[in-house]
Amino acid sequence: MTKRLTVGWKVTSLSNRIASIRYRALFPLLALRGSDVESHVFAAGTSDQLDGLDVLVIVKAFSVQDVALAHTAAQRGIPVIFDLCDNIFVDSYNRNGSLSPAPVLQGLAGLLSAVVVTTQPLADAVCVHLGSDVPVFVVPDGIEQPALIADAASAMEEAKRRVRAQPLFRRLRYSPKVLNGLALMRSGKVHVLTGRMVRKVARSAPVRRAVRTTLQPLKPSWWYKRAYFVFETARARVQGRPSRVARKPEPAAVEYPVAGNTPAAPDARRLLWFGNHGAVHGRFGMVDLVDIQADLERVAAECHVELVVVSNSVKKYAELIHPIRIPSRYVEWSSEAVQQELSRAAVVLVPNSRDPFSICKSANRTVLALQANVPVVATYTPALEPLRRCIRTEGFYEGIVAYLKDPALGAAQAAQGQAIANALFGQPAIGERWLEVLTRVRTQPPARQAATPELLVVANLVQDVELIAPLVDAARARQIETAVWASTSMARRWPYALTALHGLGVPVRLINDEPHAMANVEIPSSVRALLTIAETSLGPHRFAHQLTRRACKTGVTTATLQHGYENVGLTYTDEVHCIDRIEFAASRIFTWGTLDQLHPGIRNDNRAKCVAAGTPKPVAGNPRPLPSSVPDDKPLIGVFENLHWHRYSEAYRAFFLESVEKIARAFPDVTFLVKPHNAGRWLTSRHKGDKPVAPNLLVADPSDVQWEGVTANDLLGHMQGVITSPSTVALDAARAGLPSAVVGFDLPLDNYAPLPTIIAIDDWLSFVGACLDESDRAQLVASSRQFVERVIVPGDAAARIIETLFEKAERPMVEKT
């Protein structure tokens, strides 16, 4: 190292109680303090945290903000290291609707300078899933000792002090609505705060917390409480009793009587197991003790022993461990409890199922036990290889009995293990290994060169993804380097959309779309054209609109698409989305149909930008397998809802819902699948009244895991016909060769001709009946075909769009790096 390095450690929380933060961030940064390395710990994923950093280390953090931070760091030329201590690639690891860690890490692989892991098996798993281009380093967990824990706590307090020292406006976590309002004021579009805007800001939780904290000292009760606290604490100390206002002690450990009500003998030796109770993504935790139940019961039959379990689930202890025929006791987990029980233990047990998750675990529990002079009986794993001579791995019964009968043997082996552990896992060793990693990433180029795209495609809404894939393929066919920029809002709301974008085979960058962060986003100099899928001056399209305006200022060719059949600002208007108030920043707008199909009220400046191109949206192909809740022996009719339900009258909404239930009951041998819009979700989240119910009526709730990410195109191949409110689904179904009908009721729908329009309940009945009759169905399919021919420009729209976009796009006068 020729100069002092500044390393930023991005953690999930400023809490030293989390083991991964202690072992993988605090202990390493403490080990590096004597190596001319300055470290900063932070939890906020904002780009200002990168100021002054030479290296960014992300410690087991997979949020949307973390991904965006990694992209921003790479864009600034800051090497990014990802530290990983779990095998996140096993099935069901943290798959709870948020961003799944494995796809996140795979998506970041192209910009990571290194991945640091705890064990060799984990390194092998990373190489398999990320490829050989990303350097992987093994840095084991350190040794958790009381002095080191105290130093880690001090380091964390220092990080918290830095946060508290920041200006109030940087500490407040404003809601997006508040930040949007501030951005509008800065842009000059809003000069007067309305009462509604003021109330919205004042009611936001961050502002309420800030005001409450600021004004508290003005209340007499605030001073009274603090004076009483000081007085009572001092009086209790003088009287030698606990203070009535002191922090409540931790709840007493819950102890269960052992099976058969046989208590532990007074001279019982303690067998200790400590750790996390377990999780669904691997066979580890307390269940490991069940695997050695026969050995434990055999030991208990021959020796006076007590099994002590220090963990974080008394319920699981009661279910799994209490029935084992051995005196046992449960202690709620804490660092203090572990140290206390280690001081009284005769043997520590470290069983391991050796499944794909558990085989990657580190040796930290074994090392912790040896440091406390307690012998260890364990299942052999690769992480224990250096300590194999100092512990027993040949069998739990044999190992436990050997140590119980010969305490001197256990003491000798524990002492030998301490020496080896100190050499391999002590702070000097950890600092040396981390220094090697930091030196490598600073002196060698990144695993892969940063992308220099000629085309940027912008994604902001879940429905954008289907249109992006054909455009990326068309650009690839012309050998145009392409990258996709997606907003953090999209990734946070629809994490599966980000996973789909990563599957396109082009660089994907996550952009923090909060207004304060957007100000720092720069269009790469290599970009010749920027293409957005949905861009207008409306709030939902703000991200794409701002990027387009920025690209226009830098001379980049800009374009956007008609992203739906009824497209605001182009083919559709209502009281909320008034067509004469909608602006497009892009210089071109590619429409699906000919220009004579645009709305008569379209603004002249918007009409002048329109180019008839067709739709790049693919025709529904291979359908996604349906969940088991959908019968496979009955015809399936799809009922779809639109995004913009505000356009409908109460009478229309009531008619739609009542008709859905009536039609389902009229055709009991047909399954009706109601598909709410993935973004609108009117029926499943916004509608508060009665919902249609029938035995053969199913609702594909987008918030349900089985329907997560399912689009209309994923379902159409299973259906006999489609009924929808006015929406793009009518066109999707028609393009797929299905009978398609639109619920009109009190709406004029001339633009959907010649598709059947449903006005009354009899129209529902006749349409479903026709879908089930072969000859009538053929006529409906013919109407669908005529509709498609009327409203869509034929041909390869994606290729046409890319060709038109680049025919005049000037290459910037810069050299690619």
Average pLDDT over residues 83-108: 79
On whether residue 434 sits in a domain, the answer given is: no
Q: Are the beta carbons of 802 and 474 closer than 8 angstroms? A: yes
On whether residue 34 sits in a domain, the answer given is: yes
Q: Is the pLDDT of residue 382 over 60?
A: yes
CATH, residue 709:
3.40.50.2000
Tens digits of per-residue pLDDT, 482-537?
999 999 888 877 877 888 888 888 888 888 887 777 777 889 889 999 999 999 99
Query: Cα dihedral angle (484, 489, 494, 497), rounded to 10 degrees?
Result: 0
Give strand pairing partners of 326: none
Give residues with Cβ within 8 angstroms of 591, minimum separation 6.
562, 570, 597, 598, 610, 611, 612, 613, 793
Same domain, 135 and 19: yes
Could you tell me the pTM of the whole model? 0.72
DSSP labels, 337-390: HHHHHHHH-SEEEE-----TTGGG--SHHHHHHHHTT--EEE---GGGGGGGGG
The phi, psi pair for 672, rounded to 5°, reads -110, 125
Strand 508-511: give its sheet, edge to edge: 508-511, 482-487, 455-459, 529-532, 557-561, 588-591, 610-612
Same domain, 400 and 270: yes
Tens digits of per-residue pLDDT, 444-497?
765 454 568 999 999 998 888 889 999 999 999 999 999 999 998 888 778 778
**d(Cα 142, Cα 120) in Å, to the nearest integer?**
16
Tens digits of per-residue pLDDT, 563-593?
889 898 999 888 778 898 899 999 999 999 9
Read off the amino acid at residue 517.
A
Q: Are the beta carbons of 555 and 530 closer than 8 angstroms? A: no
| Burial (CB count within 10 angstroms: exposed 0-12, middle 13-18, buried 19+), residue 311 | buried
Would you state the pLDDT for residue 425? 94
Average pLDDT of the chain, as a whole number: 85
**d(Cα 697, Cα 235) in Å, to the nearest integer?**
69
Predicted confidence band of residue 682 (pLDDT cuts 50, 70, 90): low
Q: Is the pLDDT of residue 319 over 50?
A: yes
Identify which of 57, 42, 182 has the alpha carbon closest to the alpha carbon of residue 113.
57
Same domain, 590 and 690: no
Predicted confidence band of residue 21 (pLDDT cuts 50, 70, 90): very high
Average pLDDT over residues 222-245: 74
Same domain, 67 and 101: yes
Q: Are the beta carbons of 67 and 43 closer than 8 angstroms? A: no
Would you state the pLDDT for residue 625? 85
Average pLDDT over residues 793-810: 87
Tens digits of per-residue pLDDT, 162-203?
887 766 555 544 344 444 444 444 434 343 444 444 555 555
Which two tokens mark 100? 């799944």
* Domains contained in the chain, number: 5
Tens digits of per-residue pLDDT, 726-764?
889 999 999 999 999 999 988 888 899 999 999 999 999
Predicted confidence band of residue 212 (pLDDT cuts 50, 70, 90): low
Q: Is the pLDDT of residue 811 over 60?
A: no
Q: Tell which of 612, 647, 674 closes a domain.
A: 612
Predicted confidence band of residue 419 (pLDDT cuts 50, 70, 90): very high
HSE-CB for 570 with a 13 A CA cutoff: 27
Identify which of 40, 51, 30, 36 has the alpha carbon closest to the alpha carbon of residue 10.
40
On whether residue 445 sits in a domain, the answer given is: no
Domain that includes residue 531, residue range: 455-612
Give strand pairing partners of 350: 378
Same domain, 270 and 153: no
Same domain, 132 and 268: no
On whether residue 776 sits in a domain, the answer given is: yes
Identify which of 611, 674, 666, 662 has the alpha carbon closest to the alpha carbon of residue 638.
674
**d(Cα 545, Cα 569) in Å, to the nearest integer?**
14
Tens digits of per-residue pLDDT, 617-658?
988 877 778 888 888 889 999 998 875 667 778 888 888 888
Identify which of 730, 731, 763, 727 has the alpha carbon closest to the alpha carbon of residue 745.
763
Same domain, 161 and 177: no
Q: Is the pLDDT of residue 253 over 50?
A: no
Identify which of 745, 743, 751, 713 has the alpha carbon closest to the alpha carbon of residue 726.
743
Would you state the pLDDT for residue 261? 37
Predicted confidence band of residue 245 (pLDDT cuts 50, 70, 90): low
Strand, coil or helix: 757: strand
What are the C-alpha distances in Å from 444 to residues 1, 235, 441?
A: 13, 63, 6
End-to-end CA distance of the chain: 26
342-351 residues labelled b (16+ CB within 10 A) or e (exposed):
beebbbbbbb
On whether residue 674 sits in a domain, the answer given is: yes
**d(Cα 295, Cα 400) in Å, to the nearest integer?**
9
On whether residue 234 sits in a domain, the answer given is: no
On whether residue 618 sits in a domain, the answer given is: no
Identify which of 740, 744, 793 has the alpha carbon closest to the alpha carbon of residue 562.
793
Same domain, 578 and 727: no
Predicted confidence band of residue 321 (pLDDT cuts 50, 70, 90): very high
Identify which of 13, 22, 250, 29 has the alpha carbon closest to the alpha carbon of residue 145.
22
**d(Cα 12, Cα 116) in Å, to the nearest integer?**
17
Same domain, 156 and 278: no
**d(Cα 44, Cα 644) in Å, to the nearest integer?**
35
Helices 774-791/728-735 angle, 10° precision? 110
Predicted confidence band of residue 344 (pLDDT cuts 50, 70, 90): very high
Identify which of 591, 561, 587, 593 has the alpha carbon closest to the alpha carbon of residue 466.
561
Read off the amino acid at residue 600.
P
β-strand 588-591 against 557-561: which pairing, if any? parallel
Would you state the pLDDT for residue 99? 67
Q: Are the beta carbons of 375 and 365 closer than 8 angstroms? A: no
Would you state the pLDDT for residue 814? 39
Same domain, 12 and 113: yes
CA angle 330, 336, 337 (to 5 degrees): 10
Would you state the pLDDT for residue 446? 55
For the four alpha carbons of 588, 592, 596 and 597, in that order, the dihedral sign comes to negative
Same domain, 581 and 671: no
Average pLDDT over residues 279-304: 91
Same domain, 62 and 158: yes
Which two tokens mark 509? 């960058």
**d(Cα 456, Cα 527) in Å, to the nearest integer?**
7
On whether residue 225 sits in a domain, the answer given is: no
